[in-house]
Every structure is written in C-alpha cells, then in structure tokens.
Amino acid sequence: MDGCLEVAVGVVVNGAGRCLLTRRHAGKDHAGCWEFPGGKLEPGETPREALLRELTEELGIQVESCRPLIVIPYDYPARSVRLHTYCVTAYTGTPEGREGQPLGWFDAAELRQLQLPAANRGIVNALRLPDRYLITPEPVEHGDDDAFVERLSSLLDGGYRLVQLRAKKLSQTSLRRLAERVVRLCREHEAMCLVNGSVDLAREVGADGVHLSADALRLLQEFGRPHDLWVAASCHDRQEIALASALQVDLAVCSPVRHTGSHPEAIPIGWDGFAELCAAASFPVYALGGMTNDDVDLAQQCGGQGVAAISGLWGGRRG
C-alpha cells in the first residue's frame, strides 16, 4: 500500500431503505460531518475484517454478510485515504452509538443534501446508480423515431434505469425532438436520462445529466463541471481518470474493455486494465466495449459499478 490511510466503511440500510449514518465528533477531522460507520484498518487486517470489528465497536452490531460496493481513493489536503466500502446485507443486534456519536437514518435524496466528507460523494453515487448503463445506438435522420422509442420503452420495462441518448449525427431539430421524447419516457419509468455531448441540450430538455467525451471533459477544465446536472465521462487511461476525478464527475465509462465493432481500431484494455482504472477512480465506473448482461459480475469483481453497452444491451437480452 502507498502511504494512504486505509479505511473500511459500511452501508447499513433499514427495512424502509434508509441508510445509517453517524455524526463525527468535534475535534476529529471532518468534525460535524455525517459519515458511514467504520474506521481505519489495523495492521494485518483485511478491509472486511476491519469492517466487522469497527461496526461492532462503534454500533454494537455483528455483520453476518456484506458485499463490496466501491473503493474510493481520495486526496484530502491533510492526508490521502482509501475508503473500502461495503453494503451490509445481514447483521444481528440493534445499532446504537457506542461511542456517544449521534445516529441518523436517511433516504437516497436526503443523502445528497447532507454534509458529508468530500470522498463520500462517490459512495452516494454508487448507491444511487444501477449496474447497467444503456447507451442508445445512433438514431437515423428522418428515420423511424417511433420504432426507436418503442424499443427503448420495452428495454425500460425490462428494468434498465440509466440511459444515455447518444446521437452525434442528427440535425439540431431532430435531436431536440427525439431527446424530449426519450427524457419523457425515462421519467415515466423512473430511469435516469443523460444526453451525450451538450450541457445546453440536457438543460433544455430536462435531462438528468450529460455524458461527455474525454475531449469535452478537457474543455470543462477552465470553468468546472455544471452543478445542476449529473456528469458522466468517457475515460480511456489514468490521465483521463485523474482529470475526471479533479472535475468531480459523478460516473464514468472506461473502454474498450474488449474489442468492439463500433471502434475496431482501438486496442482493448482488458479486465486487468479496467480494474486498474477502477482502482484509481473516486466515482463509479462502468466497463464499456464488447459488454453484455453476462459481464456484470466480472465488471463488479474488478471494482466496477457494472457494464455499459450499445449493441450488447440494446439488441441483447436482459440477463
């Protein structure tokens, strides 16, 4: 390990879907912030062992099962930390503030409003985002928008909850008309909708956010990210992950993990390359490039949030 403070934290959720947070005492770093219960790894401990010990010490509960959610590396001015975050899926006991710390239970919308340490933004986003990111194929100018929207509608019925409208060749008028329909449809299905390329278009059609290419991300450096939208980015290497981290993007896709027909010239990074990029990212990352529903588990084992795809999901079956 590299001089980072290794920390294990747990997301404990109650029957009503609310997350347990505790408040940091005055005198500690991030005093007054709400945090996920947990703490520093002791020498020789694995993150999972530290999680079990910390949650017993701090809350008086015994974790029976948990699954890795995300690992967040984060450089605070005073120190670098790496938060090994787990979702606690079963425990015994009733959580109480064993160290006198206040407890609170918060739903997903409240979590985004709370004062949390900056590194926690990636955890909150990972909790909010699904494991598949559906990217639309390029629509055809003067093509059959009804068929496009119908296909999207049946995929949303099948459970997709994150969609990117990726239309790079349509005229402005056609794009705007289609984007309005796609946003409406996503809203009806309580799915999040991002539009590729344009912050202005995202705002005009009421999309949840924007998906930016690595080049578009570089242009944001001067002004920073928009704060009224979700921001997703396409990354291909460590430099682009570092830029996305500095701009505090909400999520990214990393590609190409496998060889893909849409970018036949690109050299695949493979699962090892994908895992390396996930380890460097302070936000959820999706694997892109030759992905299908069957790759979700592998992407998550590499530290990713799941998979993103055009043809593998748009044309494929739901696994």
Ligand X SMILES: Nc1nc2c([nH]c(=O)n2[C@H]2C[C@H](O)[C@@H](COP(=O)(O)OP(=O)(O)OP(=O)(O)O)O2)c(=O)[nH]1
Binding residues vs ligand X (CB under 6 A): 5, 7, 9, 29-30, 35-36, 38-40, 81, 83, 117, 119-120
Give burial (CB, 10 Å; 0-12/13-18/19+) of 188: exposed
| 268 lies in the binding site for Mg ion (CB under 5 A) | no
Give whichever of 38 and 284 is closer to ligand X, judged by the CB atom.
Answer: 38
Cα distance between residue 101 and residue 29, in whole Å: 14
**Amino acid residing at 125:** N
User: For residues 191 and 154, is the Cβ–Cβ distance under 8 A?
Assistant: no
- The nearest distance, CB 107 to Mg ion, in angstroms, is 23
- The nearest distance, CB 1 to ligand X, in angstroms, is 15
| 97 lies in the binding site for Mg ion (CB under 5 A) | no
The response to whether 24 counts as a known ligand-binding position is yes
Give burial (CB, 10 Å; 0-12/13-18/19+) of 203: middle
The response to whether 37 counts as a known ligand-binding position is yes
The response to whether 187 counts as a known ligand-binding position is no
- The site partner of 193 among ligand X, Mg ion, none (C-beta below 5 to 8 Å per kind) is none
- The site partner of 307 among ligand X, Mg ion, none (C-beta below 5 to 8 Å per kind) is none
- The site partner of 83 among ligand X, Mg ion, none (C-beta below 5 to 8 Å per kind) is ligand X
- The site partner of 137 among ligand X, Mg ion, none (C-beta below 5 to 8 Å per kind) is none
Give whichever of 44 and 261 is closer to ligand X, judged by the CB atom.
Answer: 44
- The site partner of 150 among Mg ion, ligand X, none (C-beta below 5 to 8 Å per kind) is none
- The nearest distance, CB 36 to ligand X, in angstroms, is 4
Cα distance between residue 134 and residue 153, in whole Å: 12
Which residue matches tokens 């994908």? 274
- The nearest distance, CB 72 to Mg ion, in angstroms, is 15
Q: How many residues does the chain have?
A: 319
Cα distance between residue 309 and residue 131, in whole Å: 12
Give burial (CB, 10 Å; 0-12/13-18/19+) of 308: buried
- The two three-digit tokens of residue 177, written as one number: 């008309």
- The nearest distance, CB 106 to Mg ion, in angstroms, is 18
Give the residue from 188, 194, 223 showing the smallest Cα distance to 210: 194
Cα distance between residue 80 and residue 5, in whole Å: 6
Give whichever of 81 and 302 is closer to Mg ion, judged by the CB atom.
Answer: 81
Cα distance between residue 176 and residue 173, in whole Å: 5
**Residue of this chain nearest to ligand X (CB atom):** 39
User: For residues 86 and 67, is the Cβ–Cβ distance under 8 A?
Assistant: yes
Q: What number of chain residues touch Mg ion (CB under 5 A)?
A: 1
DSSP state of 8: E
Give whichever of 117 and 306 is closer to ligand X, judged by the CB atom.
Answer: 117
- The nearest distance, CB 6 to ligand X, in angstroms, is 9
The response to whether 223 counts as a known ligand-binding position is no
Cα distance between residue 257 and residue 47, in whole Å: 27
- The nearest distance, CB 111 to ligand X, in angstroms, is 11
| 39 lies in the binding site for Mg ion (CB under 5 A) | yes
Residues that bind Mg ion (CB under 5 A): 39
Binding residues: 24, 35-38, 58, 120
Binding-site members for 8-oxo-dGTP are 24, 35-38, 120
